[in-house]
Chains A and B, each alone.
Chain A
Amino acid sequence: MTAPRVERPGLFYPKLPATWWLRNANYFRFMLRELSSVFIALFLVVFLVQLHRLSQGPGAYAAYLETLRAPGWIIFHVVALAFALYHSVTWFNLTGVVQVVRLGERQVPPRLVAGASFALWAVVSVVLLWFLLRG
C-alpha cells in the first residue's frame, strides 16, 4: 500500500506491542467493537443457511430449527445479539459526533442528536416487533 518508512540511523523506532489494546479501557472497547463485526458476520451466515433451508422445503427447515435449539446455538445467538446491540449503541453514539445539526445560530448538542437517533431506533424496533409478533 504505502512504501515502508525509511528509518534514520540513531533514532529509536518503538514497535506497538501486540497487546496494545489491553493498555486502556478505550482501546479495549474499540477492539470489542471490531470483534463485534465477526459475530454479526457469523450470525448472517447462519441466517443465510436458514434461508437456504427454507427454500429446500418445510422438512429441512424444521430440522434446521431443531439444531438451532441446542444450548450452544442459543448461547451463540445471545452473544451475537449482545455484540449487535453494542455495535449499534456505539454507532448511534457516533451520530452525535459526526452529524452537526444547527438550529439557527446554535449547534444542537451532540448528546441530543445521539438521543434522537436512539429514539428513532427504539420506535423502528417497536414497530418491527409489533409487525412480527402480530403475525
Chain B
Amino acid sequence: MTEETMTLEVTRYRPGHDREPRTQSFTVPYRTDWVVLDALNHIKDRIDGTLSYRWSCRMGVCGSCGMMVNGVPKLTCAAFLRDYRPGPIRVEPLANFPVIRDLVIALDDFMEKLRRVKPWIIRAVEKPVSDGEYLQTPAQLDAYKQFSMCINCMLCYAACPVYGLEPAFLGPAAIALAYRYNLDSRDEGYRLREPVLSEAVGVWECTFVGECSVVCPKGVDPAAAIQRSKLAGATDWLLSMIMPWAGRR
C-alpha cells in the first residue's frame, strides 16, 4: 500500500550562507489528524535536522508557532493538513518581521513595545495584600476580558500592512494590551499610557485595515481596541479643549 503524502514548500534562510530566503520542498506522510507543525516535526526528526522553527505547547496557547501558511498568518499547531488538501502547502516565516533563520523571526521589537505600553496595574495607592482582593464584578471583568486573551503570537503584526510599511507602529497586540489595562477596574494608569498610545506611531497610525482581528486566533479583536482607543483619546482631547478645568479621567 502506498502511503498518502503531501508536499510542504518551506522557506529556508541560513544567515552566513544565504543572501536571501529560498524555498525547499519536502514530502511528508499525510495524516488526517496532523497539523502543519506535526509535518515540520516529521521533517526535522526524519528528513532534515537543520530546519529551524519555534514551537512548544502544541495546543494553541504558548504563541510560539506562528508562521505564514499559504500566505496567511496561522498557528501551525492549529492548522490541519486536511484543510489544505491536496497541497502543496507553502510555509514561510511570519511576514513583516526580520528573519533570524528559516522560520524563526525576531521578536525584540515587540518585546520593547510591550514594555512601552506599561502592561501592568498602575495605582496611585496600592492596597496591602492583607486587606484582601480588589472587588471586581463579573461585568467589570467582562469589560476587558477579551483583550486579556492575547498570547503574543504576532499573527496580527504579520497581517498588518501598516506595520509592514512603518515598523515603528506600536501595532495591534501592544495596543490591545494597553487598552486591556485601561479598561481594568483596578487600574488607574490611563494617563500614563495615553501619551504612548497617542504618539504619531501609536493608534493614529492605524488606518483600519482590520485584518489583524481576522487572523487573531484568540478572538482578541485588536482592531476594535485600536479604534476604541482612538475614540477615547479624541473624546479626551475634545473635553480638555472645551473644559480645560475639568479633571480628566
Q: Which residues of A contact B (CB under 8 A)?
A: 1-2, 5, 7-8, 10-14, 16, 20-21, 23-24, 26-27, 30, 34, 94, 97-100, 105, 107
Q: What is the interface residue range for chain B against chain A?
A: 35 or more
Is the pair A30, B201 in contact by a Cβ cutoff of 8 Å?
no
A-B contact pairs, 6 of them (CB 8 A): A12-B99, A21-B161, A26-B209, A26-B214, A30-B208, A100-B228
Q: Which residues of B contact A (CB under 8 A)?
A: 13, 15-16, 20-21, 71-72, 95-100, 106, 109, 139, 142, 161, 164-168, 200-201, 207-211, 214, 221, 223-224, 227-228, 230-231
Is the pair B167, A27 in contact by a Cβ cutoff of 8 Å?
no
Residues from chain B with a CB closer than 8 A to the CB of A2 are 166, 168, 200-201
Residues from chain B with a CB closer than 8 A to the CB of A97 are 221, 223-224, 227-228
| Secondary structure call for the A interface | loop
| Nearest 8 Cβ contacts at the A-B interface | A16-B164, A11-B98, A2-B168, A10-B15, A12-B99, A98-B227, A30-B209, A97-B224
Is the pair A14, B209 in contact by a Cβ cutoff of 8 Å?
no
Cα A21 to Cα B209 with chains together (Å)? 10
Cα A23 to Cα B231 with chains together (Å)? 30
Is the pair A5, B227 in contact by a Cβ cutoff of 8 Å?
no
Residues from chain B with a CB closer than 8 A to the CB of A13 are 98-99
Cα A94 to Cα B230 with chains together (Å)? 13
Is the pair A16, B161 in contact by a Cβ cutoff of 8 Å?
yes
Is the pair A12, B20 in contact by a Cβ cutoff of 8 Å?
yes
Cα A23 to Cα B158 with chains together (Å)? 13
| Secondary structure call for the B interface | loop
Is the pair B100, A11 in contact by a Cβ cutoff of 8 Å?
yes
Is the pair A11, B227 in contact by a Cβ cutoff of 8 Å?
no
Cα A82 to Cα B166 with chains together (Å)? 31
Is the pair A98, B224 in contact by a Cβ cutoff of 8 Å?
yes
Cα A100 to Cα B227 with chains together (Å)? 11
Residues from chain B with a CB closer than 8 A to the CB of A12 are 13, 15, 20-21, 98-99
Cα A11 to Cα B15 with chains together (Å)? 7
Known contacts A98-B228, A98-B231, A14 near B96 by CB under 8 Å: yes
Cα A67 to Cα B209 with chains together (Å)? 38
Residues from chain A with a CB closer than 8 A to the CB of B99 are 11-14
**A36 nearest CB across to chain B (Å):** 13
Residues from chain B with a CB closer than 8 A to the CB of A14 are 95-99
Cα A27 to Cα B162 with chains together (Å)? 11
**B213 nearest CB across to chain A (Å):** 8
Cα A21 to Cα B20 with chains together (Å)? 23
Cα A5 to Cα B223 with chains together (Å)? 25
Residues from chain B with a CB closer than 8 A to the CB of A34 are 207
Is the pair A26, B210 in contact by a Cβ cutoff of 8 Å?
yes
Known contacts A1-B200, A26-B214, A30-B210, A105 near B167 by CB under 8 Å: no
Cα A98 to Cα B226 with chains together (Å)? 9
Kindly report which residue of chain A lies nearest to residue B95, judged by CB atoms. Answer: A14
Q: Which of A12, A26, A100 has the most CB of B within 10 A?
A: A12
Cα A55 to Cα B16 with chains together (Å)? 71
Cα A11 to Cα B214 with chains together (Å)? 28
Residues from chain B with a CB closer than 8 A to the CB of A107 are 142
Cα A27 to Cα B71 with chains together (Å)? 13
Kindly report which residue of chain A lies nearest to residue B211, judged by CB atoms. Answer: A26
Q: Which of A10, A21, A97 has the most CB of B within 10 A?
A: A97
**A77 nearest CB across to chain B (Å):** 27
